[in-house]
Amino acid sequence: MKKRIYHKVDSGHYHADACVIWCFDARFDDRFNKKELSLYEKFCKNHGFKKVDPVFIAGGVKALASPVDWWETEFVLRQIAKSVLLHDAKMIVLKDHVECGDYGRHFQSKSDAKKFYSNELKKGKKTVVAFLKSKKLKKFLKEKGVKRNTNKPVHLYYADFSGMHHIT
Ligand SMILES: [Zn+2]
């Protein structure tokens, strides 16, 4: 084994400011383009997040709102459960974006797109809120011997090519 990269990693335990479900589309997290911070970095900075549990997956909230297979929802909910278990994430953030290839939908206008993705975010939120209140999550945490307040806020964000919108 040969060490390729030297980097001092802070080994301390942390509490997550958020568990963020974000589509892996690199246009919205262009962090290797060092001309400026990526949208994801700006979003975290803007919220004062120091530690985040990111779940970067194709389609982001689609797995929670309009999954092709049931296990996609289970997988993402399990990631949220682990973020709550391991880092007691303070909030859950769901993010969708315009022209998401995983949805493969095209809209006549910006407002049509925003409306569609806002609805998806709201559907995803319902799934997450139900899970946070569920016996399933309580059982999961109990089995691990951990007590957590699972009443976490779920925030919704929609990104287009001009930035990010908070959906209320
Ligand atoms: Zn996408």
| pLDDT tens digit sequence for 64-106 | 999 999 999 999 999 999 999 999 999 999 999 999 999 999 9
Q: CA Rg, the chain, in Å?
A: 17
Distance 35 CA to ligand 1 centre (A): 23
Distance 103 CA to ligand 1 centre (A): 7
Q: How far apart are CA 93 and CA 126, in angstroms?
A: 13
Q: Residues whose CB is under 5 A from ligand 1 (ion)?
A: 23, 25, 100
CA dihedral sign, ordered 78, 83, 85, 90: negative
Distance 57 CA to ligand 1 centre (A): 8
Instruction: Please check whether residue 90 is in contact with residue 124, taking contact to mean a CB–CB distance below 8 angstroms.
Output: no
Query: Does residue 114 lie within any of the structural domains?
Result: yes
**What domain count does the chain have?**
1
33 or 103, which is more confident? Answer: 103
Number of neighbouring beta carbons within 10 Å of residue 73: 19
Average pLDDT over residues 55-68: 97
Distance 97 CA to ligand 1 centre (A): 6
Query: Does residue 56 lie within any of the structural domains?
Result: yes
Residue 35's pLDDT is 87
Query: Does residue 4 lie within any of the structural domains?
Result: no
Average pLDDT over residues 141-151: 96
Q: What is the CATH number of the domain that holds 106?
A: 3.40.1050.10
**This prediction's pTM:** 0.95
105 backbone dihedrals φ, ψ, rounded to 5°: -105, 145
Query: Does residue 38 lie within any of the structural domains?
Result: yes
Query: Does residue 2 lie within any of the structural domains?
Result: no
Give the structural domain span for 107: 18-144+151-167
Query: Does residue 7 lie within any of the structural domains?
Result: no
Residue 115's pLDDT is 96
- pLDDT of residue 34 exceeding 80, the answer is no
| Residue carrying the six token digits 């004062």 | 48
Distance 4 CA to ligand 1 centre (A): 32
Q: Measured at the alpha carbon of residue 128, what is the angle toward residues 108 and 155, in degrees to the nearest 5?
A: 65
